[in-house]
Amino acid sequence: MKLNTKSAIYALLIGAFLPIAAFSQHKTSANMTNQNNAPLFEKGDKLTNGYFTGDAYLFPLLARDKNNDFAIGSVTFEAGARTNWHTHPQGQVLIVTEGAGYYQEKGQPAQPIKKGDVINIPENVEHWHGAAAMSKMAHIAITSYEGETNVVWLKPVSEEEYSAVNKQ
Ligand code: MN
């Protein structure tokens, strides 16, 4: 009789926990889907053109062609990495695909940017973009051409400028 009571209690407990187990299982697979927090694109090749500070990488996605007067690439910035100051003669659109960082126009406060943000950069506006000091950041860059030019590089974002932004 005692054993039977025990068995009944176990049965109840198992009955109570089964749905939780099933739910946990569901949650686990949802989390695993989120682990498709894996980068959208591979990092590509390290940028060594001298116009970036820190470790930044370019994975080209689409070259300019007869129908598309722009180039598309995925740029990955390790924490602390950023572009030089620069302009685009026909503007640029950024789509952040990973992490967090900053976009700053000259003379303006920097804007924090994160995964999912879209930044529409006007033509000939001096700016930089990059990772935050404590986070990597990746974005797709869609950059239109004027003639053969889609970017005009200027000087580096100094440590003073960059650390001021990260203290905001
Ligand atoms: Mn830009």
What does residue 139 show for φ and ψ, rounded to 5 degrees? Answer: -140, 155
CB-count burial class (<10 Å; 0-12, 13-18, 19+) for 103: buried
**Cross-strand pairs, 126:** none
pLDDT tens column, 58-82: 999 999 999 999 999 999 999 999 9
Provide the residues around ligand 1 (an ion) whose CB is within 5 A.
Answer: 92
Q: Domains in the chain: how many in total?
A: 2
Q: Are residues 49 and 116 in the same domain?
A: yes
Q: Are residues 137 and 103 in the same domain?
A: yes
Q: Are residues 32 and 54 in the same domain?
A: no
Rounded Cα distance, 152 and 130, in Å: 17
Confidence of residue 38 (pLDDT cuts 50, 70, 90): confident
Q: What is the CA(34)–ligand 1 centre distance, in A?
A: 29
* CATH number of the domain bearing residue 58: 2.60.120.10
Q: What is the CA(24)–ligand 1 centre distance, in A?
A: 44
CB-count burial class (<10 Å; 0-12, 13-18, 19+) for 52: buried
Which residue in 48, 139, 148, 144 sits closest to 88, CA to CA?
A: 144
Q: How many CB atoms lie within 10 A of CB 74?
A: 22
Q: Are residues 76 and 6 in the same domain?
A: no
Q: Are residues 65 and 6 in the same domain?
A: no
Q: Are residues 14 and 81 in the same domain?
A: no
Q: What is the CA(93)–ligand 1 centre distance, in A?
A: 8
**Cross-strand pairs, 74:** 59, 140
Q: Are residues 55 and 104 in the same domain?
A: yes
> Which pLDDT score, from 0 to 100, does residue 150 have?
98
Q: Are residues 3 and 71 in the same domain?
A: no
Q: What is the CA(83)–ligand 1 centre distance, in A?
A: 8
Q: Are residues 72 and 107 in the same domain?
A: yes
Please provide the average confidence, as pLDDT, over all residues in the chain: 86
Q: Are residues 28 and 61 in the same domain?
A: no
> Which pLDDT score, from 0 to 100, does residue 37 have?
72
Q: What is the CA(17)–ligand 1 centre distance, in A?
A: 54
This prediction's pTM: 0.79
Confidence of residue 18 (pLDDT cuts 50, 70, 90): very low
Q: Are residues 90 and 134 in the same domain?
A: yes
DSSP category for residue 79: T
**Which range marks the domain in which residue 87 is found?**
45-166
Q: What is the CA(66)–ligand 1 centre distance, in A?
A: 23
> Which pLDDT score, from 0 to 100, does residue 21 have?
43
Q: What is the CA(141)–ligand 1 centre distance, in A?
A: 8
Q: What is the CA(55)–ligand 1 centre distance, in A?
A: 17
Q: What is the CA(58)–ligand 1 centre distance, in A?
A: 13
pLDDT tens column, 77-134: 999 999 999 999 999 999 999 999 999 999 999 999 999 999 999 999 999 999 999 9
In this structure, the chain runs to a length of: 168
Q: Are residues 51 and 113 in the same domain?
A: yes
> Which pLDDT score, from 0 to 100, does residue 123 have?
98
Q: Which two tokens stand for residue 50?
A: 């001298």
